[in-house]
Amino acid sequence: MRRLSSFTCVIPCCVLAVCAGAAVIFFGERVCAMNHNLAWAWNDGASGPATPDVQFYSTAAPEFLFGADAAEIVIQARAIRRCVGLTWTVARSSFVEPFRNGRGEPSPNGTFVLRIPTAGLHPGFYDVRVRVDTGMGKPLEGICAFGYRAADMPIVDSRPANFRAFWEKGVASLKELRLEPQEGEHKIFTHAEISEYNLKSACLPGEFDPEGRVAEKVESFKVSFNGPGGKRVYGWVAKPEGAGPFPVMLVLPGGGANARPRPLDQARHGFLAMDIQIHGQDVDLEKYAVPPGYYDNCTFDPIEDFYFYNVYLRSVQAVNYLLSRPDADPKQVVLVGGSQGGRLGITTAALDSRVTAVVAAIPANSNCPYSDWAKECNGEWARTPDDGWRRVPPREQKRSNGMDRAGPPVLPDTAENRCMPYYDAMNFAQDVKCPVYMNMGMIDGVSTPPGVYSIYKRLGTADKTLVPLPGMGHDWSAEFDRRAYRWLAKLRAAKR
């Protein structure tokens, strides 16, 4: 048993996000691809650590990804107020301690140019923090991030030799379960009712993609079926009116134990969609208890007793249920999700070859060796003799900027480090053979760029697209979803 694991970033961002740097940013969860699947009202706020007082752009590399031909990283910064000067620091992604600093070159129009030499930079991702002097005492602060030779970023090869056999055994165990599905009351929603539901109960704009609308009316109901771990899996199903068959879309939830919304907007796009509660809890409770072992008190030995073992298998069981339906098109099985849902999209596609496409937004919990290494170098946490973690008092903290290591981090042999490679999303990526469309928040402190990029780099499909989101944290993008829907439409057209 452990008090705190390297998977602490499964904490839902409605609670806490440890952003790259010393600051701890609290903000409301507003994430997920095609499934901004939160069962509360829409709001238009932005997730941290967005810094509206200081905006960044780069004419040299608009996506903030620089190649080997760049002699320096050139970034422009503009403050929203009158300013006197700007200073900057740069640190490795997720690291607190900077290794370089400088002053921005001022322009008469209030813009500053940051020039960061690439000499001495290791391939990977970096955080840039600025302080803008307004002449009023308290400076404005901002953060941006960039990648340098990202394709060459070293990644620990932590996938165990028996990884595939371990998970094949788990998936095979699902055959011993009878689905025994139970459906609740069926309800019809009109186009106007879907838009109203989105605003009030699904944390979505009324309609953000009118060009993608396929159905004017959808049918929705609650469902449950037997799952692993002795628990039933609960979900909402929504589909266009009619017998189908319809393309299948499994909506996988972000972190936390929360109510789930009906996937009405996904059904309006023409999909037989299901949004599931992956903890074996119902989808519309007034209060939710955090399951033991999900955030802390984790069990790492035996490996199959780690909490996410059954979570991963429940996601596969949801595919089994959807494909048992006569109105499902087995040739079109799409997984979508953000944060934890993006992670589950990758792991489920790796475990189930029937999946034909994945849209994974800001997938979390990948490249755990890097995040553990950063955590130790930041000095705020230290390992204990019983293979746990303890918070280090500020006066005892010793920080490292990590620039003394050019290769991947090396972690000690602990029960946690023997277990986590079986659950690290990047170790599933090579088994994903279907097309993948994903994004990466460049200043995301939850699903960090080193984690997201490790998935993209290791995907086992050549049909893969990564959309960098400069200036965005752990957040949702309407335009990314619109483009993802168009991408899925092209995949369907290519199969006809």
- How far apart (Å, rounded) are the C-alpha atoms in residues 272 and 334? 10
Listed as own residue / partner, the contacts of 381-388 with beta carbons closer than 8 Å and 24 or more positions apart are 381/4, 383/412, 383/414, 387/2, 387/300, 387/414, 387/415, 387/416, 388/2, 388/3, 388/4
pLDDT at 15: 28
CB atoms within 10 A of CB 285: 14
* In-domain check, residue 382: no
Residue 271 and residue 410 in one domain: yes
* Residues in CB range of 225: below 8 A, 6 or more apart: 179, 180, 181, 182, 232, 233, 317, 321
Domain CATH code at residue 70: 2.60.40.1220
Residue 70 and residue 132 in one domain: yes
Residue 275 and residue 414 in one domain: yes
pTM score, two decimals?
A: 0.92
**Distance from first CA to last CA of the chain, Å, rounded?**
52
- How far apart (Å, rounded) are the C-alpha atoms in residues 97 and 397? 12
* In-domain check, residue 473: yes
- Write out the residue range of the structural domain in which residue 233 sits: 163-370+397-495
In the sheet that holds 124-133, the strands lie side by side as 65-66, 140-148, 124-133, 85-92, 100-103
Domain boundary among 102, 126, 152: 152
Domain boundary among 87, 122, 152: 152
* In-domain check, residue 256: yes
Strands 246-252 and 232-240: unpaired
Model confidence pLDDT, tens digit, residues 95-144 = 999 999 999 999 999 899 999 999 999 999 999 999 999 998 889 999 99
- How far apart (Å, rounded) are the C-alpha atoms in residues 310 and 44? 34
* Residues in CB range of 321: below 8 A, 6 or more apart: 179, 181, 223, 225, 233, 274
* In-domain check, residue 445: yes
- The residue ranges of the chain whose pLDDT is under 50 are 1-31, 33
* In-domain check, residue 143: yes
- How far apart (Å, rounded) are the C-alpha atoms in residues 464 and 370? 23
Residue 174 and residue 103 in one domain: no
Residue 105 and residue 170 in one domain: no
- How far apart (Å, rounded) are the C-alpha atoms in residues 98 and 131? 14
**Which tokens hold the place of 89?**
């620091």
Strands 296-298 and 2-4: antiparallel
Residue 240 and residue 341 in one domain: yes
Residue 268 and residue 408 in one domain: yes
Residue 204 and residue 301 in one domain: yes
Residue 191 and residue 275 in one domain: yes
Strands 187-190 and 217-226: antiparallel
- How far apart (Å, rounded) are the C-alpha atoms in residues 318 and 339? 19
Residue 139 and residue 229 in one domain: no
* In-domain check, residue 324: yes
* Residues in CB range of 41: below 8 A, 6 or more apart: 199, 200, 201, 203
Q: How many domains does the chain have?
A: 2
Domain CATH code at residue 222: 3.40.50.1820
Residue 112 and residue 132 in one domain: yes
* In-domain check, residue 386: no
Using omega within 30 degrees of 0 as the cis cutoff, is the peptide bond preceding 291 cis? no
* In-domain check, residue 64: yes
Domain boundary among 100, 118, 152: 152
Residue 114 and residue 181 in one domain: no
